[in-house]
Amino acid sequence: MKAEQHQIALLQGLARNDRKAIETIYKENFNLIQALVVNNNGSAEDAKDIFQEAMIVLYQKVQSGSFELNCQLKTFVYSVCRRLWLKRLMQQSKYSLHENTEDFVLVDEEMEEHEKRDNEFTVMEKAMGSLGEPCKSLLEAFYLQKKNMQEIAGTFGYTNAENAKTQKYKCLMRLKKIFFTQYKNVTP
């Protein structure tokens, strides 16, 4: 299926509340949005909220019957999420933004960079999947859930924070080795 037909099928599926279409839109876009939010003072939970809000915006637009997609679906979702995230940051006073400044940022250029990062996240996701337990959970606890080493020691049964830190370091080295091995295989 061509990319344009694929996008039309996804939008039609979304308009019908088709679960498979919604899941596909999520799978094809969420990592990019998570990277956007996490790299800009947000958390994984914030990314989920923003993505959900963008899906509601997209759903309402396709339900209106007059919506025309003039770019890639990924670009549209990214643009909506970016605006929603900037708005939330402004509300939280974490980001000072003059009115309409975001309009000056070229979304296409930013998209190219983010697509590259999205590919890297995909490789990282595969590397995390290959890492095994307890390393996977330990690294997620530290980097995604932002737990400190004392909490991690308690959760994973290490005698103290130093032992947990040593284990985290070993897990991180293993992850780096797996990541770069897989990364070399997917990049030209």
The stretch 105-128 carries a mean pLDDT of 72
Residue 97 CA to chain centroid, in angstroms? 23
In this prediction, residue 110 carries a pLDDT of 65
* 8 Å CB contact between 61 and 80: no
How many CB atoms are located within 10 Å of the residue 54 CB? 23
In this prediction, residue 103 carries a pLDDT of 46
pLDDT at 51 over 90: yes
Residue 102 CA to chain centroid, in angstroms? 20
* 8 Å CB contact between 114 and 74: no
What are residue 96's phi and psi, to 5 degrees?
-95, 120
How far apart are alpha carbons 186 and 188 in whole angstroms? 7
pLDDT at 33 over 80: yes
Q: Which domains does the chain have, with CATH numbers?
A: 1-96+105-111 (1.10.1740), 125-185 (1.10.10)
Whole-model pTM: value is 0.53
Which span out of 81-95, 98-112, 119-133, 153-167 was modeled with the highest average pLDDT? 153-167
pLDDT at 85 over 60: yes
How many CB atoms are located within 10 Å of the residue 46 CB? 19
How far apart are alpha carbons 114 and 180 in whole angstroms? 19
pLDDT at 99 over 80: no
pLDDT at 159 over 70: yes
pLDDT band at 111; cut points 50, 70, 90: low
The stretch 27-54 carries a mean pLDDT of 92
What are residue 134's phi and psi, to 5 degrees?
-85, 0
